[in-house]
Each structure stands twice: as C-alpha cells, then as structure tokens.
Amino acid sequence: MLDNLVCIITGANSLTGIGRAAVYAFAKKNARAIYATDISEENLASLAEDVYKTTGVECIPKRMDASSDHDIQAVIGDAMARFGRLDVYFANAGIAGPHPMKTETQDEFLNMMRVNAWSVYAAIKYASEAMKKTCEGKPTSSGSIIATASVAGVRSGAGPMSYSASKAAVINLCQSAAWRLRGTNIRVNAICPGLIVTEMTEKVLAAIKGNGTMESTLTTSSALQRFGDPKRLPQWQPF
C-alpha cells in the first residue's frame, strides 16, 4: 500500500503507456497524491480527473521535460511545498526508435542518452535529496526511486544500439545510486521489461510487421513468447 505517500511519475501522457498504467496502479494502492507528468500534456488533465473520479486520489497533472533539471526541480519543489514530502519517483519517461547504426547521427545518439539516461541521473540527484527531508508523519529519511530500463540494456539483439546503450546506463545508474544512498533508507531499482506494446513502440512494431522472421525472433526471445502488456508492470513498480 502507498498510504500517505506522495509520488511523481514521468512519461504519463500516452494513452497506452507504462506511465499512465502506473498512475492508476499507484492510485489503487491509495497514494496520498500522484504527480502525472510528461513533456506532452494533452491527456494529462483528463487522466487526473478520471483518477480522482474512480479512486478518490489526488492526481496533479504537470507538463515536465523529464531530462530538464529545471522542470524536475520545479515539480519536486511543488510536491515539497504542498505536502512537505516526496516518497516515490518513477522515472519512466523515455524515447525509442529505429536508428540504424549506419545512419544515426551524433545528435540523435546524444539525444537518446539525454532523454533516457540523463533523466534518470537527474531524477536520482534531486529526488533523493527531497526524500531525505522529514516532516510530520515522516520522521526519517526514506523513499523509492524506480527507473524504466529494458531487457535491451542487459543483452544484445533486443533493441537499437543507442537505445540499448541508454538503457544499460539506466541500469548502472540505479546500481551505483543504490550504493551511494546506502544508509538513507532510499531504495533505487531499475525494471527491465521486454518489448511492451505502447504508443512509443508502435513504430518499432510497424517496422517489423509482416516480417515473420523478425517478429518470431522478438516474441520467442521471451519465455512467454509474446509482447508485454503495460498494465501488468505497475503491479510491482511501487516497490
């Protein structure tokens, strides 16, 4: 349960994404407040309204570039000003795309690292400091930082090179941060899903549509031999 906990979730705008599914899952676990954030915001207000209507949990929509220090600090600052605490930060925002090695530019590679890896570094940097602060009802430092990595970050053949490199960075950042934050009661974990059917991965799926060999490779690389459902992931994200 997330009773009385204040949470921030990035990448929550997509109607079929992991972030949106996480907002509902956190609300069902009775979070005190959930910040639903994304660089795109057309679906955030309706998400917040529906969450409150169906669960009674306060959901606060905020436009936020997850890789912007300024934006991250602004949302965390709002949470601290309103509630005096931050308990969970789910660094879920990210980008993907079919970037072939022979055509990918340096700018494209660095943008992938900025959005996917720097966003997690900055989340850990600023969220951990907020989680150390105490208030009435929170007498000691504590919190949970979760980042969406990927199976592509741990093995070859699961994604484009730049995407895979960015997700490997996310995994290492979480491992390193967990060590750096020892003794603070702040946990840092990365989740490494396989190919999840979301708005972000639609282009990837479209690119392999009709290519029986590639589609077979992607599905059989999973023990369940199927693509993932974003609604299944939030069952264990709050950890």
The conformational region for residue 155 under phi > 0 = left, psi -120 to 50 = alpha, else beta, is beta
Over residues 176-181, the mean pLDDT reads: 98
The second-level CATH assignment, the architecture, of 6-194 is 3-Layer(aba) Sandwich (3.40)
- Read off the pTM: 0.86
**Residue 151 pLDDT:** 84
Split at pLDDT 50, 70, 90, the class of 8 is very high
For the chain, what percentages of helix, strand and coil (3-state, to nearest 5) are there? Answer: 45, 15, 40
| Mean pLDDT score of the chain | 87
Q: Examine the pLDDT at 172 and tell me if it is beyond 90.
A: yes
- Examine the pLDDT at 233 and tell me if it is beyond 90: no
**What is the percent of the chain with per-residue pLDDT over 70, rounded to a whole number?**
79
What is the distance between the alpha carbons of residues 71 and 162, in angstroms, rounded to a whole number? 25
User: pLDDT per residue over 74-126, tens digit each?
Assistant: 999 999 999 999 999 999 999 987 778 889 999 999 999 999 999 999 999 99
Q: H or E stretch including 108? A: helix 106-113
How many angstroms separate the CA atoms of 34 and 15, rounded? 17
Lowest mean pLDDT among 26-40, 162-176, 186-200, 215-229: 215-229
Picking from 21-25, 108-112, 159-163, which range would have the lowest pLDDT averaged per residue? 159-163
Indicate the domain borders of the chain. 6-194
Write out the catalytic residue numbers.
163
pLDDT value for 225 = 46
User: CB of 20 within 8 A of CB of 47?
Assistant: yes
CA–CA distance, 141 with 160 (Å, rounded to integer): 39
